[in-house]
Amino acid sequence: MDAIVFSKKDNVATAIKNLSKDQEVLVNFENTTLKIKLNHDIPFGHKFAIKDIKKESEVFKYGEPIGIATQDIKTGDYVHVHNVSGKRGVRRYTT
């Protein structure tokens, strides 16, 4: 397995190894295994989208909202501070 999803509500997965752009990765999700082609490199511990996420809709991890998408996010996109903002406030760092 390449990444972890916690809840059927989640729309992101967390990489448990370094993953590369164009790689097809396996994610266990709702008793099935999803195969997702990555659009970016995803470092260990970082997240990517397992569903398309519309701008200004909620990003879910652990079955709970962790923030709002600040732009449209496509399945396989890297998900981090560049395209997600905390709902309860924003850290204005860039990576």
- By CB under 8 A, the residues from 61 to 90 that bind another protein are 61-62, 64-67, 79-81, 84-90
Smallest distance, another protein to C-beta of residue 77, A: 13
- Contact assessment for residue 74 and residue 52, using Cβ atoms and an 8 Å cutoff: yes
- Among residues 2, 4, 10, 11, the one that binds another protein under rule CB under 8 A: 4
Smallest distance, another protein to C-beta of residue 67, A: 4
Report the relative pairing of strands 58-61 and 24-29 from DSSP bridges: unpaired
Closer residue to another protein, CB minimum distance, 35 or 91: 91
Spell out the residues 6+ positions from residue 12 whose beta carbon is closer than 8 angstroms to its own. Answer: 5, 47, 48, 49, 50, 59, 60, 61, 79
Provide the 8-state DSSP code for 45: T
- Applying CB under 8 A, which residues contact another protein? 1, 4, 14-16, 43-47, 59, 61-62, 64-67, 79-81, 84-93, 95
